[in-house]
């Protein structure tokens, strides 16, 4: 099997194996630097929400990851988005007419392998990839920190994406860290997975702030059109700006950011980008790994149904409010109530 890169070239398993063969134990200095980057100190560790989490698929819908507890949803949703990309638009994509809900086990596993590989190579500037795996030797003694051998797959993968440590130069505040005290990951982690850069903002390009003196502050944003997009509830609330590089991605897949929870919104065809008139309609699918979905949540969109944006309504489902930030004149119909009769709003989970 080969793994595609964004520029169209491929990487074979033989090449990956040659890199994997160059393995060595992590040093104490590297472990301390990673802990500082992750938690802001060398004593904290991942909580149970992370140590019990892996990349496991649901039966329904079969493309969706199971999220066991609140916390690692950012990493899960970002990887989930790339899995959906591989299934619908990748080099070995399925026939969307047959339905993304009818997947074979092999198709899911290959899509996951391609997604994980692409993200790691992107984080390494398309030049190299480092994979963090369990090792028999313990770097941190059990008396000073949790045994790294207890960590499950998602932790190893999260460490693999940040292990270059170059990302401190990409962050606005090099002293900040990637995992909060509540166990949720920062926006830098999401951006690192989506675009390979650990920038903290969602607007296009960089902003240079000058307070009037000789010193300026550089705020880093999204440098170019992203393969996968992102929409934010904060923009609906008018407390942040999401730029066109995320709003209009190359493929119709978006991460939805709702306070501290991340989910995925997607379409099965790029044709939705051409639909802008009042007579046009298209369908979006929403997946939340933490919710107990019994079927797909579907949104029917008419992108130009209204002559002006509808009034802000905080009682609307979070996904619909995020959709309005991308299609402000749309009408939105959904089967969400039927799918999740007992599901409550995801904010704060």
User: What is the Cα–Cα distance from 72 to 154, expressed in whole angstroms?
Assistant: 8
The pTM assigned to this predicted structure is 0.83
Does residue 32 have an active-site annotation? Answer: no
Packing angle between helix 73-89 and helix 153-162, nearest 10 degrees? 80
β-partners of residue 231 are 256
- 73-107: pLDDT as tens digits: 999 999 999 999 999 998 877 766 556 777 888 89
- 28-71: pLDDT as tens digits: 888 888 888 888 888 888 888 888 888 889 888 899 999 888 88
C-alpha dihedral, 58 to 48 to 113 to 196, nearest 10°: 120
Which residue in the list 32, 56, 59, 73 is annotated as catalytic? 73
User: What is the Cα–Cα distance from 195 to 201, expressed in whole angstroms?
Assistant: 12
Q: Terminus-to-terminus CA distance in the chain, angstroms?
A: 38
User: What is the Cα–Cα distance from 309 to 49, expressed in whole angstroms?
Assistant: 39
Report the pLDDT averaged over residues 188-213.
89
Does residue 286 have an active-site annotation? Answer: no
- Beta strand 253-258 with 261-266 is antiparallel
- Closest by CA position to 235, among listed 334, 129, 326: 326
Alpha helices, DSSP H only, in 168-240? Answer: 187-195, 233-236
How much is the pLDDT for 141? 44
Report the pLDDT averaged over residues 334-340.
64
How much is the pLDDT for 158? 82
How much is the pLDDT for 304? 94
User: What is the Cα–Cα distance from 290 to 211, expressed in whole angstroms?
Assistant: 43
How much is the pLDDT for 15? 38
Which residue in the list 177, 261, 286, 322 is annotated as catalytic? 261
How much is the pLDDT for 164? 62
Q: Which single residue is written with the structure tokens 């104490």? A: 28
**Bond before 61 cis per omega within 30 degrees:** yes
- 264-314: pLDDT as tens digits: 999 999 999 999 888 899 999 999 988 877 677 999 999 999 999 999 999
How much is the pLDDT for 71? 84
User: What is the Cα–Cα distance from 53 to 281, expressed in whole angstroms?
Assistant: 37
CB of 249 closer than 8 Å to CB of 225: yes
């Amino acid at each position: 099997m080969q793994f595609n890169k964004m520029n169209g070239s491929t990487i074979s398993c033989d090449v990956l194996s040659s890199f994997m063969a160059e393995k060595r134990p992590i040093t104490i200095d590297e472990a301390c630097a990673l802990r500082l980057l992750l938690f802001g100190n060398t004593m904290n560790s991942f909580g149970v929400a992370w140590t019990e989490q892996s990349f496991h698929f649901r039966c329904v819908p079969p493309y969706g990851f199971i999220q066991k507890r609140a916390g690692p949803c950012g990493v899960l949703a970002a990887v989930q988005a790339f899995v959906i990309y591989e299934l619908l638009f990748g080099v070995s994509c399925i026939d969307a007419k047959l339905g993304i809900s009818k997947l074979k086990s092999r198709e899911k596993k290959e899509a996951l392998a391609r997604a994980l590989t692409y993200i790691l190579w992107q984080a390494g500037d398309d030049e190299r990839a480092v994979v963090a795996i369990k090792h028999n030797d313990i770097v941190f003694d059990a008396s000073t920190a949790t045994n790294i051998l207890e960590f499950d797959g998602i932790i190893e993968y999260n460490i693999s994406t940040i292990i270059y440590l170059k990302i401190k130069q990409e962050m606005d505040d090099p002293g900040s860290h990637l995992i909060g005290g509540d166990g949720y990951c920062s926006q830098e982690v999401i951006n690192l997975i989506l675009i390979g850069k650990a920038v903290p903002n969602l607007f296009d390009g960089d902003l240079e702030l000058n307070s009037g003196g000789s010193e300026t502050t550089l705020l880093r944003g999204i440098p170019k059109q992203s393969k996968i997009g992102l929409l934010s509830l904060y923009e609906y609330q008018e407390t942040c700006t999401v730029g066109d590089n995320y709003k209009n991605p190359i493929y119709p897949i978006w991460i939805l950011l709702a306070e501290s929870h991340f989910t995925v919104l997607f379409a099965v065809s790029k044709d939705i980008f051409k639909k802008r008139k009042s007579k046009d309609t298209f369908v979006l699918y929403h997946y939340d790994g933490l919710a107990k979905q019994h079927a797909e949540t579907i949104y029917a969109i008419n992108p130009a149904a209204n002559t002006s944006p509808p009034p802000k309504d905080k009682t609307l489902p979070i996904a619909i409010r995020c959709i309005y930030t991308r299609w402000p004149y749309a009408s939105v119909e959904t089967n969400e109530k039927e799918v999740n009769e007992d599901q409550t709003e995801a904010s704060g989970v």
